[in-house]
Structure 1
């Protein structure tokens, strides 16, 4: 390689392009198109994400026009002007010429891309918000690699002809597959083959860069394409050295074979790298693509497990989703890609972006029962319903886990990793759900069918869930028992449960002194257990015997008052008047003197930020127990301890708390109990007394009645003094995330994750404890949000004011009507019959007037509401249109100014050394 020749060719082509104003026209067109593709599509403002997703969709098509405009003159112009012979006779190799030409085209494209990047960043910074700088730069780096590959293809087209127009057309045609492969499903109906084709599209290869990840597979694909095409260019430029006749024909075959061999080599290399693509770097500021350390460790174990075959993951997502789900979709697709890349070929992901009524949608329903789910969306303050796909099926051998819909509140990484590792293991751990009066499983009775609770549905994704009848001795290979309101069991069932815990079975106990009637139809801890069901209709409802819950508490070394509940005067959401029996366990309690609301030393509770308990009880450690007692959840100290019967009768909880003397005590509502149990019931009294009285340094082992040492069994339990957070509504709130369709918007409590952590810990499965608490955040259009928030706030105030005026007017009209009736009743000159007739006459006539007046007031209010909504729409649209205008005006300013400067500089250069008379003569001719 001759650097001097390469540099000379590079400088000549590069300077000639930028010394001509025409070059700046092309740059202006490119910058405007890229800016429009970024900001003009409705999805940009609907998704409310400060990223370049819309530009990434259109960039291959924009480059399909812009790249040929750069490369069409690289060789065609040389041949048209006859300077190609001069260029080929200089003392340089074909490689020097091709590289010089290519580097000049690459430099021109790089400058154009920098113009585009700078202008789009200006529009963002002007008022849209601050995008993730790492994500922004990485996306443009992907565009740069794509441009390098397309430039090499465009140069091949330029070498094929000496006509600029034909060179431009050839450049588009040869580059078209890179863009068109992304829409392979338009012309290939078989989803399998369509996905195979689209895998090699520019859009698919840009996916990592679009998410802020620099991966070896993405870089190698574009560089491989560039190398192959540059080799073809060298073949085309070197054919002048070939002989004619048979010799020339044989060389064509020879070099064609070489090119095919290069394609096969680089193609195989890229297939291998794409399957084993662990060399990747997440350069985003928010680290939105990085897997947690726990996930990476689990993937390493999976990769080294020879017994695990390829795990197949089929993801079905809608091509377009509501703005509330835009970031969630990015997280899902990004996490799937990261899991596949880091698995060493053990995980194969197939993503199907399907429409609701397509053949693929029918396949998803038939094979996996994945169907589009209705979601509530909000557009410009108006709620609407839309059905979308967001389901995943994970298969390995004969096992599979299907998640029909991953809602936006579900941690994506946790859901996917749990499903993958669940099917990868030979057997699942078993959860035994103790049967109590709390209906968790689906059943059918005289009252009708009851559906399976969300808790059981969630547990089935990871465990083998078995319902345990405690009326019989609890024996079996259970990794953990779940007992919800065990006080509502018979004495025999309670004894069997206590025996199971004595025998070493881990147990999670949820016991509530005051279950909420809207959640559970079960008695509190100290309330009578009555027979319901059909017998209640015929005078039944007699009291049933209850087991003694104190036996279980004594075994676990706990002291719990079954009649007391905890109230707390703390509300992290002051805009919502939650009653004081809504007891929040919140990290904000640290400001009120609670050092650790969550036990940071226990993996069950560390890392949590907020839980909600409803009228919970509280527990204390029995000081005589030898078991280890670890509080997990602790309230603040603005609390009151009151009988649950008082809470049930109070109409105003706020007044009650204000009248109570708030204690300075923090109550424990959840604790972990661990240790060893020694069965001393059958010990010989004398031996026990002698062992206790001995003062030897070494402890004398306790003996049973046969004289053998007593075997100790492990005790492992978690006790929570509330069952209301197992209610299905908590699962729905969790799945819908911060923006949910309930009356509790922006709720961030993590009750479901905590319950699952409890069961995982007790079952000895600590793989997901950290992953379950992990979340990711994307940059949004903050200033747009602020502007639209102010507009919506004013709109809401106007509507509230109009509603208040309407209600006051209706109240005044009703008072006026009532006043007329009272005036008649106060008259003494009318007989009772006359008064009744007059009252009825007034009621008929005045009622009609009142109804018309109320109807008109409501119509006026609806008209005001509609006008306000239209005004809100105009203001929101105005904000968006303003930034769309910026996208038109700001980007081309810089290249236009440079083009004008170059034009006048060139004109000035042309006039240097020319006499004034000649200039005047030329002006007269012009």
Structure 2
């Protein structure tokens, strides 16, 4: 390789491109098309994400036009001008010539790309928002790799012709598969074949860069195309030596075989790297990074060769509404990262399916995955759409299905949990203690009762087994879940306490005041069980049988060394959501850093470490007895702006219609605690007492023998939560909804994560404790949000003003009506019968007029509100249209300015040292009388 010749060829081609105005025209067109693709699709503003997703979808097709415009002149122009023979006589190898021209084309494309990058970033920063720098650079790095691959292909096309137009067309034709394979499903009807074709398209290989991930497999893919095409270009140049003739020998078959071998080697390398990839996340927000715990779990999947590969079928809609755009992005990105981290153990197949397609029918039949109806907000109007966003995980004969991943659910947690669960040879078991709380569903006088969301959530990870405490609980479970155990009968309570005493890990949720709307027919700790037969018998006067007796729950508290006053309900004067107003009551007890507690959560305990907020409704309180051998660890603690009330206080307030009788104590109450120690600690005390009593009647040897016969201590392992409402379905529904602009209050409590952490920790399964808390923050169009927020606020104020005015006017009409009736009733010159008749007549006559006026006022109010909404929509569209116009008009300005600078600089250089008389527009010499 001769660097001098290579550099000379590079400079010649590079400078000649920018010496021609046509080059700047192509750059301006490229920059303008890039801006149009980035900012003009309606998804850009509706998704409200500061990224280049729309441009990434269109870039291969833009390059399909722009790259041939660069590559068509690489060799065709040399042939057209007859300078190719002169170029080949230089003291350089064919490799020098090919590399020099290729690098010149790459440099030209790089300059064009830098113009586009600078211009689009300027538009973002100036008027839209701050994009993720790593994501932005990663996307453009991907564009660069796609471009150099297409340039190499276009270079081969240019070597085949001496006509620029033909070179341009051939460049488009040869590059078309790279772009069109990305939409193979539009061409090939078989989904499996389309998936294979799409996998090798430039668009699919670019996906990593689009998400801000630099992967070795994608880089090698594009460089492989460039290497093969450069080799083909060298073969085409060297053809003059071996093409045959009078003295030559044809070597076409030889070079064809060498090219095929090169393709085989590069193809094998790409397949190997696809399964053994190295990746790096460039995003500032870590949008694609997996937690260390997730990577560890995924890599451990391959440690057991007995576990077959895990096949993941992801079903997504081609277009997701704005509210689910980031969730879909995280879903697909996380699947790719999990597959890459598994070393080929996880195989992902993505299906983009329409709602009524054949693939949609197959997804429903095979896995029960159906399109979910979601509510979206399109320019202020609420609409419903049906979208796919689910996955099925298969490993051997076992499978786990996620029908839909709601936007409030951490994607990484859901996916890694499903993968590790389906790969397990045997799932852990949760024993669900049968109490008055029917978490598992069943039947009642009112009909079937569905299983709760908690049970559905647990079944994704555990085998849930119902445990009947009517008989001794001898079987061991990974964790035993007891909800409102105070409802158990005496024998059932004894069996349950014996199970806890035996060392069974147990999660106990006990509530002094369960909310009736969540738990019908479930009473508080100190309240008697409802009558046998339920409420239906009472409706017909039967009243049912006597209430079932309750067991003594005090023996459970004595065993665990805690105190829970059954009729004491905690309240706290703290509301972290001022926008909620009166919706938040003092009996809604929030645990977070703002409630005034020194340590609201135990950061050292894996259950609560990292939690931000917890909400318990009408909870009780826990106190440790400071008993030797038992460790009482508070997990959730209130602030000191607190007090208590009783169950009867709430009932009296409900019957009398007055406020709650709240007693202020200023105490910090423990709402949840972990208990660890020896179950025999309590028994030892009673045994010592018995031994002391027996010493008065028996000799010391008998007492020592009795002590020696005592059973070995069993470890206690329990978590107690003084509320069961945190298990209710509404908390799961709020988690699924996530944050939304339509919600009056953006709730941030983590009740679901807390409950699942309790069960996982007791089951000694710490795999998901940290992953469950991870969230990803996408950059949005913050400046657009700020620009439109004032419009929304003014429109809301105007709508409220219209409603207030209408309310006052309606009140005035009704007041006028009442005054007319009052005047008649105040008359003394009429008999009671005549007065009553006149009142009825007047009421009938005026009520019609009143109703007409009220209806007109309501119609006027509705028209004003609709007009206000139209004005809001028009203003928002105006803001978006303004930035759209700016996004298209501003980007071409830098290359135009550079073109003018180069033009005038060249003109100035050409005029330097030239006599003015020789210039085309120079001044003619003056004539004198002597010259005439």
TM-score range for the pair, normalised by the shorter chain length: over 0.9
Give the equivalent residue in structure 2 for 1:729: 730
Q: Name structure 1 gaps, 5 residues minimum.
A: 694-699
1:107-186 map, 5 Å? 107-186=107-186
> Aligned partners of 1:550 and 1:191: how far apart in 2?
63
1:598-747 map, 5 Å? 598-624=601-627, 626-650=629-653, 662-678=664-680, 680=683, 688-689=691-692, 705=706, 707-708=708-709, 710-739=711-740, 745-747=745-747
Q: Is the 8 A contact 1:684 1:704 kept in 2?
A: no
Give the equivalent residue in structure 2 for 1:191: 191
In the alignment, does 2:334 pair up with 1:331? no
Give the equivalent residue in structure 1 for 2:492: 493
Return closer, same or farther for 1:654/1:133 CA change in 2, 3 Å cut-off: farther
> Aligned partners of 2:882 and 2:286: how far apart in 1?
31
SS at match of 1:204: helix
1:27-42 map, 5 Å? 27-42=27-42
Give the equivalent residue in structure 2 for 1:696: none
SS at match of 2:512: coil
Q: Deviations over 1:128-153 (max 9, x none)?
A: 11101111111111111111111100
In the alignment, does 2:891 pair up with 1:891? yes
Q: Deviations over 1:192-211 (max 9, x none)?
A: 11111101111111111111
Q: Is the 8 A contact 2:52 2:139 kept in 1?
A: yes
Q: CA deviation at 1:245?
A: 5.0
Return closer, same or farther for 1:554/1:684 CA change in 2, 3 Å cut-off: closer
> Aligned partners of 1:808 and 1:680: how far apart in 2?
72
Q: CA deviation at 1:258?
A: 1.2
1:808-823 map, 5 Å? 808-823=808-823
Q: TM-score, normalised by structure 1?
A: 0.95
Q: Deviations over 1:369-427 (max 9, x none)?
A: 00011111122332221111111111111111111011001010110111111111110
Give the equivalent residue in structure 1 for 2:930: none
> Aligned partners of 1:405 and 1:517: how far apart in 2?
30
In the alignment, does 2:552 pair up with 1:551? no
Q: Deviations over 1:639-689 (max 9, x none)?
A: 0111132134337999968x8563331100000001121284899769944
> Aligned partners of 1:718 and 1:872: how far apart in 2?
52
Give the equivalent residue in structure 1 for 2:299: 300
SS at match of 1:722: coil
Q: Is the 8 A contact 1:580 1:653 kept in 2?
A: no
Return closer, same or farther for 1:686/1:122 CA change in 2, 3 Å cut-off: closer
> Aligned partners of 1:682 and 1:920: how far apart in 2?
116
Return closer, same or farther for 1:711/1:249 CA change in 2, 3 Å cut-off: farther
Q: Is the 8 A contact 2:430 2:477 kept in 1?
A: yes
SS at match of 1:492: helix
Return closer, same or farther for 1:904/1:744 CA change in 2, 3 Å cut-off: closer
1:427-576 map, 5 Å? 427-521=426-520, 522-530=522-530, 531=532, 532=534, 534-538=536-540, 539-541=542-544, 542-576=546-580
> Aligned partners of 1:385 and 1:691: how far apart in 2?
77
Q: Is the 8 A contact 2:75 2:162 kept in 1?
A: yes
SS at match of 1:371: coil
> Aligned partners of 1:740 and 1:56: how far apart in 2?
27
Q: Is the 8 A contact 1:20 1:903 kept in 2?
A: no
Q: Is the 8 A contact 1:275 1:345 kept in 2?
A: yes
Q: CA deviation at 1:703?
A: 7.1
SS at match of 2:821: helix
> Aligned partners of 2:320 and 2:243: how far apart in 1?
61
Q: Deviations over 1:745-780 (max 9, x none)?
A: 311110001100000111111111110011110111
Q: Is the 8 A contact 1:684 1:705 kept in 2?
A: no
> Aligned partners of 2:656 and 2:735: how far apart in 1?
27
Give the equivalent residue in structure 2 for 1:585: 591
> Aligned partners of 2:883 and 2:504: how far apart in 1?
63
> Aligned partners of 1:835 and 1:475: how far apart in 2?
83
> Aligned partners of 2:13 and 2:716: how far apart in 1?
80
> Aligned partners of 2:299 and 2:247: how far apart in 1?
56
> Aligned partners of 2:284 and 2:910: how far apart in 1?
50
> Aligned partners of 1:373 and 1:583: how far apart in 2?
34
> Aligned partners of 1:61 and 1:36: how far apart in 2?
13
Q: Is the 8 A contact 1:507 1:717 kept in 2?
A: yes
Query: Please, which moves more after superposition, 774-783 or 433-442?
Result: 433-442
In the alignment, does 2:89 pair up with 1:92? no
SS at match of 2:578: coil
Q: CA deviation at 1:282?
A: 0.8
1:794-805 map, 5 Å? 794-805=794-805
Q: Deviations over 1:426-447 (max 9, x none)?
A: 1001101111111212323331
Q: Is the 8 A contact 1:21 1:902 kept in 2?
A: no
Q: Is the 8 A contact 2:572 2:641 kept in 1?
A: yes
Matched residues, number: 912
Q: Deviations over 1:834-862 (max 9, x none)?
A: 11211111111111111111101110111
Q: Deviations over 1:777-799 (max 9, x none)?
A: 01111111111111111100000
Q: Is the 8 A contact 1:181 1:201 kept in 2?
A: yes
> Aligned partners of 1:447 and 1:458: how far apart in 2?
25
Q: CA deviation at 1:908?
A: 4.7
Q: Deviations over 1:78-127 (max 9, x none)?
A: 00000000000111100000000000000000000000000001100112
Return closer, same or farther for 1:14/1:815 CA change in 2, 3 Å cut-off: same
Return closer, same or farther for 1:444/1:708 CA change in 2, 3 Å cut-off: closer
Give the equivalent residue in structure 2 for 1:846: 846
Give the equivalent residue in structure 2 for 1:363: 362
> Aligned partners of 2:245 and 2:695: how far apart in 1?
111
Return closer, same or farther for 1:272/1:653 CA change in 2, 3 Å cut-off: farther
Return closer, same or farther for 1:69/1:337 CA change in 2, 3 Å cut-off: same
SS at match of 2:9: helix
SS at match of 2:75: helix
SS at match of 1:476: coil
Return closer, same or farther for 1:83/1:692 CA change in 2, 3 Å cut-off: farther
Q: RMSD across aligned C-alpha pairs, in angstroms? A: 2.4
Q: CA deviation at 1:44?
A: 0.6
Q: Is the 8 A contact 1:98 1:234 kept in 2?
A: yes
Give the equivalent residue in structure 1 for 2:375: 376
Q: Deviations over 1:435-461 (max 9, x none)?
A: 111121232333111111100000000
SS at match of 1:571: coil
Q: Is the 8 A contact 1:30 1:112 kept in 2?
A: yes
